[in-house]
Amino acid sequence: MTALTAAELVAGYAAGAFSPVDATEAVLARAHAVQPSLNAFVRIFDEEALAQARESEQRWDRGAPGGLLDGVPVTVKDILLQRGSPTLRGSWGVSGEGPWEEDAPSVARMREHGAVFVGKTTTPEFGWKGVTDSPRHGATGNPYDPARTAGGSSGGGSAAVAAGAAPLTLGTDAGGSVRIPASFCGIFALKPTYGRVPIYPASAFGTLAHVGPMTRDAADAALLMDVISAPDSRDWSQLGPLTGGFRDGLGNGVRGLRIAYSPDFGGRVAVAPDVAAAVRRAVDRLVELGAEVEEVDPGFDDPIEPFHVLWFSGAARVTQHFTPEQRERMDPGLREACEEGARSSALDYLAAVDARMALGKQMGVFHQNYDLLVTPTMPDTAFGIGREVPDGAPYRRWTGWTPFTYPFNLTQQPAASLPCGLDSAGLPIGVQLVGARHADALVLRAAHALYGTSVTELPPPPPPPTPTPTPTPQD
């Protein structure tokens, strides 16, 4: 049961094949089984989840499910507010006292649709980097090899989905934070167009930050997007309401789509041979499905410097109230990034905004000719746990190994990662699909078409080792 998608669970409830309590008990058991080796959770809600599942079971027994996700186990990244549970953001600088009386918009929408909340998942401190470890909650391992990173910053949720500890999770992405761990853990993730999923409170990283679904396939992501894209008056920057839903036309395929394929951003990025070959096979499947594919580079220079100004300034802003004692307990890399961000002037910030707008214009023009852009999600597969960059890397910050992800946070475009194979070490590889702003449904449609082929089929992660008894994770 822990391998089923959300759609399959809902179908099973409707048919009476099993109940939300059955599913929740199975998922909770799996969550506890993988927690010692993966550290995917900061909290597991045993009693609360089972109470919600029993209420859902009663609704299904009456033939009156309460929403699209009624009885589906879900997890939430410990960046997003969840009523009744501390949101600690991986930081000793956040008090757990509360009160915790409010849901983030996406969490509120899932609650309204009857979701069963299994736990809060791990994040690096304030979600600041592309791996998941923090002084407060430790490091999250990869289900395919717990000695390697799950990626980040939504690594806890990605590890949970891949390991069978919930079919759906909510993540945040301001530089690749749902796509990086999706690639490393072999699952699906979508960074929607900025504003499509309402955010509250506003992120310190401003309009770089998106909330998005992390799931077992594109169909589940479309289902979750139909839930979490509903408007919320607390977000002044949200987009207007949609006409129709993300599941409408999901099966229409890719025939006739104009797709640009950039294997290495015009030779600028060194891509591991196994990754390059797997992504090329995914592109070949798109051609077989009827897409018109051209190998072409989008042609922009690496926007790492303006991204750093915006990113590090946001980090400095969110921690500016910290006491000297709290700063001593911060992630050392985050402390360095905050010091760098605090040195940026208003003119530096505005120059970064100018560079961002120019990149947005360039990609807008690019998508006049191409419906989608395909790239590797990551240039390599997961590296050792507990470090910000791979051993021997020539750069100090996580942005050095994520060149395919953060540019599309600057441009606010929808971008998805889906699995396309394993490397020689048995680690997942991801392919990224990028659409023009507002083309979220098209990205999901193309991803769903690939899920109809063998290219996305991965063997499951190895089973977790038999754990020694440990208490439910709590702060």
Grouping H, G, I as helix, E, B as strand and the rest as coil, residue 117 is strand
Q: Cα Rg for the chain, rounded, in angstroms?
A: 21
Distance CA 137, CA 81 (A): 17
Report, as residue numbers or ranges, the catalytic residues.
77, 153, 177
Please spell the DSSP secondary structure of 26-90, one letter per residue. Answer: HHHHHHHHHHHHH--EEEE-HHHHHHHHHHHHHHHHTT---STTTT-EEEEETTS-BTTB---TT
pLDDT at position 98, please?
84
User: Taking CA 53 as the corner, what is the angle to CA 2 and CA 121, rounded to the nearest 5 degrees?
Assistant: 60
Distance CA 404, CA 264 (A): 9
pLDDT at position 465, please?
74
Number of H helices, E strands in the chain: 14, 15
Q: In what order do the strands lie in the sheet with 41-44?
A: 41-44, 116-121, 73-77, 168-173, 210-215, 188-191, 415-422, 428-435, 372-376, 258-261, 292-295
Could you read off the pLDDT of 8-28 as tens digits, one per residue?
A: 999 999 999 999 999 999 999
Grouping H, G, I as helix, E, B as strand and the rest as coil, residue 416 is strand
Contact between 116 and 138 under an 8 Å Cβ cutoff? The reply is: no
Distance CA 106, CA 73 (A): 15
Contact between 193 and 412 under an 8 Å Cβ cutoff? The reply is: yes
pLDDT at position 371, please?
98
pLDDT at position 280, please?
98
How would residue 235 be classed by pLDDT, with cut points 50, 70 and 90?
A: very high
Q: In sequence order, which ranges of 62-192 are alpha helices (DSSP H)? A: 105-112, 155-163, 179-185
Torsion sign across C-alpha atoms 438, 440, 442, 443: positive
Please spell the DSSP secondary structure of 310-377, one letter per residue. Answer: HHHHHHHHHTTT--HHHHHTS-HHHHHHHHHHHT--HHHHHHHHHHHHHHHHHHHHHTTT-SEEEEES
pLDDT at position 475, please?
55
Task: Residue 449: name the closest of 226, 276, 224, 291 by CA.
Answer: 291
Residue 35 dihedral angles phi and psi, to the nearest 5°: -60, -45
**For the chain, domain boundaries:** 6-231+243-304+346-456
pLDDT at position 429, please?
98
Distance CA 29, CA 21 (A): 12
pLDDT at 472 over 60: no
How would residue 468 be classed by pLDDT, with cut points 50, 70 and 90?
A: low
Mean pLDDT over 230-236 rounds to: 96
pLDDT at position 256, please?
98
| Residue 120, C-beta contacts closer than 8 angstroms, at least 6 positions apart | 41, 42, 43, 75, 76, 77, 78, 82, 85, 87
pLDDT at position 466, please?
64
Q: Please provide the average confidence, as pLDDT, over all residues in the chain.
A: 96
Grouping H, G, I as helix, E, B as strand and the rest as coil, residue 139 is strand
- CATH number of this structure's domain 6-231+243-304+346-456: 3.90.1300.10
pLDDT at 471 over 60: no
| Residue 62, C-beta contacts closer than 8 angstroms, at least 6 positions apart | none
Could you read off the pLDDT of 248-307 as tens digits, one per residue?
A: 999 999 999 999 999 999 999 999 999 999 999 999 999 999 999 999 999 999 999 999
Distance CA 384, CA 146 (A): 9
Could you read off the pLDDT of 376-395 as tens digits, one per residue?
A: 999 999 999 999 999 999 99
Q: How are beta strands 292-295 and 258-261 bridged, if at all?
A: parallel
Grouping H, G, I as helix, E, B as strand and the rest as coil, residue 181 is helix
How would residue 243 be classed by pLDDT, with cut points 50, 70 and 90?
A: confident
- Residues above pLDDT 70, as percent of the chain: 98
pLDDT at 131 over 70: yes
Mean pLDDT over 429-445 rounds to: 98
Mean pLDDT over 163-173 rounds to: 98
